[in-house]
Chains A and B, each alone.
Chain A
Amino acid sequence: MSKLVRTIGWLLYAPILIFGFYVIMHGHLTPGGGFQGGAVVASGFALLIVAYGAKGAGLKERLLSAVESGGALIFVGLAFLGLGATFFYNFLAAGGGVVFNELVPSGPNPGDLNTAGTLPLMNWAVGLKVLSGLGSIVLLLALFPGEEE
């Protein structure tokens, strides 16, 4: 692609990533969540691939694949950790653990990030899974033979 596209792509890449991670992080407070945030991050990958080509974007299929498995494992693993009570039991919420353990304040409020127990962690797991999954799909489509560079 032209220098113009490359420069703009390079400039936009970081904001897109930050916005995607923000959507994942705030999944339990605002609309969006792991899937949506992961898709936003993957769209950043797609921008890089369009601007720099599949080889020049610096994305590794092997790494993405590992992150994808890892995200899914974290999700199922968190569900297993609840087995003290039941599968998927939210063992961190409302004082049960060290993070995300505060009670949700009632009434209008700006949103307390440190709530909801395992839900933010599961959002991260889903986010990692989706950003790497969609990222590798885009990458593999770009890597297929027949592309013009």
Chain B
Amino acid sequence: MDILAHVPILVVGIPLLGAFATPLIGRAGARARNWFAIFILLLTTALAIALAVSVYQSGPRVYVLGGQSFGFTLPSGYFFPIRIILEVDGMSAFFALIIAVTTLLGAIYSTAFIAGHSGLEKYYALLLLLAAGMFGMVVTGDAFNFFVFLEITSIAATGLVAFRTGRAESSEAAFKMMVLYNIGGLFVLLAVAILYGQYGALNFAYLARLIEYSLLDVIALALFVLALALKAGAVPMHMWVPDAYPAAPAPITMVMVANTQIGLYGLYRICFTLYGLKLTPALVGWIVIILGLASIFIGVSMAVIQRDLKRLIAYSGIAQIGYMLLGVGVGLAVLGTPALNSYGLMAMKGGIFHIINHAFYEGLLFLAAGAISYRTGTRNLDELGGLAHNMRWTAIFFIIGGAAIAGLPPFNGFASKLIIYESVFKFNPILAVIALLASILTLAIYTRAFQSAFVGPQLPAYKDVREAPASMMFPMGVLAILTVLFGLFPDLVVKYLVTPAAQALVNQAQYIEAILGAGLGVK
């Protein structure tokens, strides 16, 4: 059996199997359960890397579920795909890497951070389920399947945010999330139903070839954009983010960052691959740009006034989502025009590069904030102070994360933001200026946060505070190393990881041909 051929489904199936096995393994003891969850995610990470390597080397991979053969997309005698088909292109593989890294590090960090709570087998089961759902969303090539995995991530994420039920904030945030995610999920379902009603098919590639951009299609697009922007936490649908991020356990907050980015993945996939050139790119591109600008502006200005460390990071994270929308929105706005090759593709590369950078430095910041609250029991910046005396490594990690999010060289945030500024400036200078100003404000925010938490004389209340345990330091160390490496060698990352992803988005024909073949299928 050729394992590599089955990898697209294995990255979904193995975490799913692990999720349901965890409650049973958990009866053998806490150690067995923790190691089992880490082992499953390690295996999934290895598979995701193998998948990414094969996709980057040899183009999109398709996988037919339940068929006689995995590549048998069009059964003989049929002109359209009848089974659920997974399709992994550069963009999917790029996101699969992000999910793999964040969930694995999240599970390692959880072993110490969450220990002592009851019902932990359900915690790990939900974490694995969330991983399975996120992988499913990025590998699927089927609209209804996409909705199902979206719901899986929503349910698992809500359960994880609500996990520490002893805290009122957890239940409140989870309830808010549940309501909003449900509304978003129903929007997606309705949009899928509209497409299915018109074209009688659910496969993205087949729909992309048929889609006409009728009034109904416009409604479906609006529903998709609204729901997925809500999942991505873009302003004005961001209200659940600053509640959910602080309420969730720190490792979950890091995974939730990847989870919001999957919303961006869905948005890009729908706009570029499903609708492509048919969707009046300039108008939709500007809508995405405005969503991005609003996120940058509101996110940064709300972060300035926060006193809660994790809430502060959450708001500045909303601003960073804005950069990703801005970069890719510019690419969408000039799709199909000569400007795409002169600066549009570059802007998209910047936006996509920022996604992976954001997953690392934002994860690092949340883990560092988690380490602080783990040792001191508070996240209030007014109470904290002088922690650099006791938590030296956490302070260093926080500096790295803060510098990266503010876009200081030589960290990864600088590299991707610079690409965004340069290319967006060619599109519209004012947008670049706003993005740059917001970045400066971010620097001010993190200078203040670092100063309040770490600098100053040692406070008597925190005299006995020690450095976080090794299982929490290790994930932070990995993320810090990745943050620095991606900042030192941005050219390599852009060349080998980001460019294939951006090109996969622009190259709609390649996505369609991988399933339907050139010219086959629809007249």
A and B from one assembly?
Answer: yes
The interface of chain A, by Cβ under 8 A from chain B, is 65-66, 68-70, 72-73, 76-77, 79-80, 82-90
- 7 residue pairs, one from A and one from B, having the closest CB atoms: A72-B20, A88-B66, A87-B9, A69-B23, A76-B17, A73-B20, A88-B65
List residues of chain B with CB within 8 A of the CB of A85: 67-69
| Residues of B98-117 contacting chain A, CB below 8 A | none
User: How many Å from the CB of B17 to the closest CB on chain A?
Assistant: 5
- Of residues 1 through 46 on chain B, the ones whose CB sits less than 8 Å from some CB of chain A are 1, 6, 9-10, 13, 16-17, 20-24
Closest approach, in angstroms, between the C-beta of B66 and any C-beta of chain A?
Answer: 4
Contact partners of B24 in chain A: CB under 8 A: 66, 69-70, 73
CB contacts (< 8 Å) of A89 on chain B: these are 66-68
In the complex, A90 Cα to B65 Cα: how many Å? Answer: 10
Question: A50–B363 Cα gap in the complex (Å)?
Answer: 48
For A73, the closest partner residue in chain B by CB is: B20
Determine whether the beta carbon of A87 is less than 8 Å from that of B65: yes
The answer, yes or no, to whether B63 is at the interface (CB within 8 Å) is yes
Closest B residue to A84 by beta carbon equals: B1
A69 partner residues in chain B, CB cutoff 8 A: 20-24
A69-B20, A69-B21, A69-B24 known; A86 vs B13 contact (CB < 8 Å): no
Residues of B within 8 A of A82 (CB): 66
Which residues of chain B are near A80, meaning CB under 8 Å?
A: 13, 17
Chain B: number of interface residues, binned into ranges: 20 to 34
Contact flags B42-83 to A (C-beta < 8 A → 1, else 0): 000000000000000000000111111110000000000000
Residue numbers in A under 8 Å from B9 (CB-CB)? 86-87
| Chain A residue contacts of B70, Cβ below 8 A | 86
Would you list which residues of chain B between 384 and 404 have a CB under 8 Å from chain A?
none
Contact partners of B64 in chain A: CB under 8 A: 86
Residues of chain A lying within 8 A (CB to CB) of residue B10: 87
Contacting pair B69 A87 (CB below 8 A): no
Chain A residue nearest to B122 in the complex (CB): A65
Which of chain B's residues have a CB closer than 8 A to the CB of A87?
6, 9-10, 13, 63, 65-66
Contacts of B1 in A (CB 8 A): 83-84
4 new A-B contacts, CB < 8 A, other than A69-B20, A70-B24, A73-B21, are A86-B64, A86-B65, A87-B66, A89-B67
User: Which one of A72, A77, A83, A86 contacts B68 once the chains associate, using CB atoms below 8 Å?
Assistant: A86
Chain A neighbourhood of B65, CB < 8 A = 86-88
CA distance A7 to B70 in the complex (A): 56
Closest Cβ of chain B to A121, distance in Å, is 14
Residues from chain B with a CB closer than 8 A to the CB of A76 are 13, 16-17, 20
Q: Are the C-beta atoms of B67 and A86 separated by less than 8 Å?
A: yes
Q: Which residue of B lies closest to A129 (CB)?
A: B20
Residues of A within 8 A of B17 (CB): 73, 76-77, 80
In Å, the complex CA distance between A84 and B3 comes to: 10
Q: Name the distance in Å between B65's Cβ and chain A's nearest Cβ.
A: 5
Distance (Å) between the CB of B25 and the closest chain A CB? 9
B-chain residues with CB within 8 Å of residue A66 when the two chains form the complex: 23-24
Nearest-CB residue, chain A, relative to B84: A88
| Distance of A90 Cα from B68 Cα, bound (Å) | 9
From A65, A69, A80, name the one whose CB has the most chain B CB atoms within 10 angstroms: A69
